[in-house]
Structure 1
């Protein structure tokens, strides 16, 4: 049984990503090649949300939280090329777009519109703010 919650790190996909970042063995090129351009599986969507949150922390948009202990968010952000950043933002946008593109969206939608928006609204805000930063870089 999987774990999930409203927060960006309250799920199994994010936990796996954070463990890989802590271990220093996360390779975004390898990761992004296995993610389908069509429908996003739940773990991939959860990891995208977590990557977006790490970027938000690195850029000072969000305070670091205890889940990021042992992770240098700024170093992660510096390691990304403009294409990597664009891929993360596009994957985030697909995650929150609708149930046809994202299993995670589909699962939240099954809980009802209120739960869907409680989960989705902060991510929409982060995507918009991160896009503005990426354009400015």
Structure 2
């Protein structure tokens, strides 16, 4: 599946998506993220792997801007800045991750067959926790 680990950018599709974000103008980047998330939600019936992987990458970029979010590693993720995203992006990203992890998702099926499904689902759960604000903060509030 062109995937080398469970991270949101550890696959060929997400790496290509990162390249498109890097080539886009600053003002265009939020629209590309919104489109990636919306495509996953709009997929009728079966969610294809490419749409799912782009949605996970977009959700990770949204989560990176939230309290408790992990910084994005530019080795595979976009190097270009992502403008501050509004609250609606968090809601859209949460819904997209639910779709990606749910029934009728090729990506979820492939991870189920890989023997690494638990690790992958834990990674998605971490993103969802940041996006819905339930991530626990450390003693310093970070």
TM bracket (short chain) = 0.7 to 0.9
CA contact (8 A) 1:94 1:102 kept: yes
Aligned counterpart, 2:71: 63
Aligned counterpart, 1:91: 96
| Residue 70 to residue 125, structure 1, CA distance change in 2 (3 Å) | closer
TM-score normalized by structure 1?
A: 0.75
Q: Output the CA distance in 2 between the equivalents of 1:18 and 1:69.
A: 5
TM-score normalized by structure 2?
A: 0.72
Offset, 1:18: 0.7
Q: Relative to total residues, which structure has the larger helix share, 1 or 2?
A: 1
Offset, 1:110: 1.0
**Residues paired across the two proteins, number:** 124
Offset, 1:44: 0.8
Structure 1: tracts of 5 or more residues without a match: none
Q: Does 1:131 align with 2:138?
A: no
- CA root-mean-square deviation: 2.4
Aligned counterpart, 1:7: 7
Offset, 1:88: 2.3
Structure 2: tracts of 5 or more residues without a match: 135-142
**Which one has more relative contact order, counting CA pairs under 8 Å at least 6 apart?**
2
Q: Does 1:105 align with 2:108?
A: yes
Q: Output the CA distance in 1 between the equivalents of 2:78 and 2:48.
A: 27
Q: Output the CA distance in 1 between the equivalents of 2:126 and 2:43.
A: 24
CA contact (8 A) 1:45 1:102 kept: yes
